[in-house]
Amino acid sequence: MPIRIIVHSKDVENITGYMPRTARKLLQTIRNVFGKPKSALVTVREFCMYTGIEEELVKDFLRY
């Protein structure tokens, strides 16, 4: 099964335990840090660089 490279707010909720609004705000903050437009997608790599969570842990989680 292919691994997704995009992190959605629902993924952030499941990985971090954040509430939906907080998960969306975190993704928006990551977009701002990386200079992306409001509607741009956040990659696993960007999410991991910002949060400090290891990429392999996130990828393992996204397989399910």
* CA 30 – CA 6 distance, rounded (Å): 13
Residue 28 lies inside a defined structural domain of this protein: yes
* CA 14 – CA 23 distance, rounded (Å): 9
Handedness of CA 51, 55, 56, 61 (dihedral sign): positive
Residue 17 lies inside a defined structural domain of this protein: yes
pLDDT one-digit tens code per residue, 32-59: 999 999 999 999 999 999 999 999 999 8
Structural domain containing residue 12: 6-62
At 32, list the tokens. Answer: 């701002």
Residue 1 lies inside a defined structural domain of this protein: no
At 16, list the tokens. Answer: 């971090």
Q: Say how many C-beta atoms besides its own lie within 10 A of residue 21's C-beta.
A: 10
- pLDDT the model gives residue 2: 66
Which comes out higher in pLDDT, residue 4 or 30? 30
pLDDT at 1 over 60: no
What percent of the chain is modeled with pLDDT above 70? Answer: 94
DSSP label of 46:
H
Which comes out higher in pLDDT, residue 64 or 63? 63
In the chain, the number of structural domains is 1
